Structure 1
Amino acid sequence: MILAAAASSASHLLPLSLPATDSHSVPWTVLFVLTLLTLLPAIVLSMTPMVRLLVVFHFLRQALGTQTAPSNQVLMGLALLMSWFLMQPVLHQVDQQAVEPFRLGQIDGWEAIKRGVEPPRLYMLRYAKEQDLAIFTSAAALPRPARPEDLPLRVVAPAYMLSELKAGFEIGAILFLPFLLIDMIIASITTSVGMFQLPPVVISTPLKILLFVMANGWNLLAGSLLKSF
């Protein structure tokens, strides 16, 4: 799914860049697109909401006890589509500030990159926690900035990933609690009636799935995750 998105992005960017007036810009455009294709999976996983979404989805699967259902590919696809939906305003800003001027030949490639990273940097800065930013600012031996907006991308990106991992684990822990309560109740009941030959998880798993489906769990989870951004 990520490779398909990368191919789609490349096919979108390449025609936009070819009409440049300078004939030497074509090899640079090809180099830029190939570099983008190589780095795109890492960019998607580190600079979008995909980190938080994948963590929450895997916590949900463990809480339900379904092991491999939904599969990793399904969860990855859902997280990718939701990330694309959430990142639409940022992508629009990148297109207006960097891609469109570069296509028209108003700016060169380096200037397009500088302009293009600004909207994602400001987006990540919005969700990066102060303590995470402080860790990487100190590790980079940078002076304390007058405002968070002055921090470079090499500080904001890893701080954003740490903050998203923490947020994902917090949501996953809260999501895990009601299913854990069902497991405890079923284990207590089966033990009290002397049903030792049947593992409690065999009974609790279908009950948890039934409860999740009856509560329209996927809809509630998706809505809550979208509102968290």
Structure 2
Amino acid sequence: MRWVLRGVVAAMLLVVVGLFGAAGAGAAPAAAEPVRAAAAASHLAGQPAGPSQPNGPTAPADQGDVTITVGTPDKPSDSIVIMLLMTVMSVAPALLLLCTSFTKIFVVLSITRNALGLTNVPPNQVLAGLALFLSLFIMGPVATDVNKEGIQPYLNGEKTQSQAFEDGVQPLREFMLEQTRPEEIALFTKVANEDKPANRDEVPLSTLVPAFALSELRAAMLIGFVLFIPFLVIDMVVSASLMSLGMMMLPPVTVALPFKLLLFVLANGWGLLVTALVGTYG
């Protein structure tokens, strides 16, 4: 009986051990699931995230009307001033020749040089420089009025471009009208097939400028004629003297040149000439 009881007890122990083993085997996979989930999460955390959808364009906020201003509102910009300055510099030679006293003075000085019998003395550069500075003296008040009435108000924003041009060119018009003969104005008005202006203020610049240039050339020729007379008398006297002495082979120009230079220097010819030229413009 004792061996039988021992066998039953051993069988029961085996059954109990089997039951506990089965329970442990079932609980182990359940306990391993969180571990596996944690490992998978840590593995995914190390990989980069996938691309996300881009956001659509957003409309800009309404800022109202946009105004772009170049320079100050009341004054012309520096670019416009530079452009106008370059334009004036490009037409400056034409303005100097046709709208100032330069042409008349230069022609008179050239005629004086030819009357003296000199071909290259003084040179053209010296005559042009002297004519330029004399023109500056004569045109100084006119240039001051042009700057006062047209240029400065435009740069300060007080006048528009058209108003500044009309007011600035008025002193130059007055100067040219005073020196222009009515015959030249009528001539160019007829050539241009324009109606006769009612008064001097209605004469257009397209007629006034060439009429002024023609009047200046006419006045220069008259002054040159007067200058030639005394030197022509000296040439005639020298030529007659050489003919009477039988020195026909001696050029009269060579003999007359020292006498003409002496007469011109003793009479202070350059001073009288400059004074007369400036005096013709009042």
TM bin (shorter chain): 0.7 to 0.9
Q: What residue number does 1:27 align with?
A: 79
- 1:58-207 matches, within 5 Å, as 58-207=110-259
Moved more, 161-170 or 24-33: 24-33
Give the drift of 1:121: 1.3
Unpaired runs of 5+ residues, structure 1, are 1-18
User: Retained in 1: the 8 A contact 2:99–2:213?
Assistant: yes
Q: Whole-Å Cα distance in 1 between the matches of residues 75 and 115 of structure 2?
A: 57
Q: Is this contact kept in 1: 2:76–2:155, CA < 8 A?
A: no
Question: C-alpha deviations, 1:143-170, integer Å up to 9, x for none?
Answer: 2222122101111100000000000000
* RMSD value, Cα: 1.7
Partner of 1:40: 92
Identity value in percent: 39
**8 Å CA contact retained: 1:20, 1:104:** no
What SS does the corresponding residue of 1:106 show, helix, strand or coil? coil
The separation in 1 between residues aligned to 2:213 and 2:138, in whole angstroms, is 16
Question: What SS class does the counterpart of residue 87 from structure 1 fall into?
Answer: helix
Q: Structure 1 residues 143-152 or 202-211, which shifts more?
A: 143-152
Amino acid paired to 1:49: S
Structure 1 equivalent of residue 41 of structure 2: none
Count of aligned pairs between the two proteins = 212
Q: Distance in 1 between matches of 2:108 and 2:164?
A: 34
Post-superposition Cα deviations, 1:87-115, rounded to whole Å, max 9, x if no partner, equal 11111110110111012111233332222
Partner of 2:19: none
Structure 1 residue 28 displacement after superposition: 1.7
The answer on 1:218 being equivalent to 2:270 is yes
TM-score w.r.t. the length of structure 1 is 0.88
C-alpha distance in structure 1 between counterparts of 2:72 and 2:155, whole Å: 6
More helix as a share of residues = 1
Q: Distance in 2 between matches of 1:102 and 1:175?
A: 45
Question: For residues 106-142 of structure 1, what are the alpha-carbon distances to aligned partners after superposition, in whole Å with 9 as ceiling and x for unaligned?
Answer: 1233332222221111110111111100011122222
What are the superposed Cα offsets for residues 65-96 of structure 1, whole Å, 9 maximum, x if unpaired? Answer: 01111110111011110111011111111011
Is 1:209 paired with 2:255? no
Inter-partner Cα distance in structure 1 for 2:231 and 2:142:
36
Matches of 1:143 and 1:25, distance apart in 2: 40
Match of 2:104 among 44, 49, 52: 52
TM-superposed deviation, 1:22: 5.8
Checking the alignment, whether the CA contact within 8 Å between 2:151 and 2:168 is kept in structure 1 is yes
Where do 5+ consecutive residues of structure 2 fail to align? 1-70
- Runs of 4+ that moved beyond 4 A: 19-24
CA distance in 2, matches of 1:98, 1:145: 25
- In structure 2, the CA distance between the partners of 1:110 and 1:28, relative to structure 1 (3 Å rule), is farther
Aligned-partner Cα distance in 1 for 2:81–2:172? 21
Instruction: Quickly say closer, same or farther: Cα 1:24–1:77, change in 2 above 3 A.
Output: closer
Is the 1:20–1:103 Cα contact (8 Å) retained in structure 2?
A: no
Tell me the distance in 2 between the aligned counterparts of 1:23 and 1:147.
Answer: 35
> Which structure is larger by alpha-carbon Rg, 1 or 2?
2
Larger RCO of the pair (alpha carbons < 8 Å, separation 6+): 1
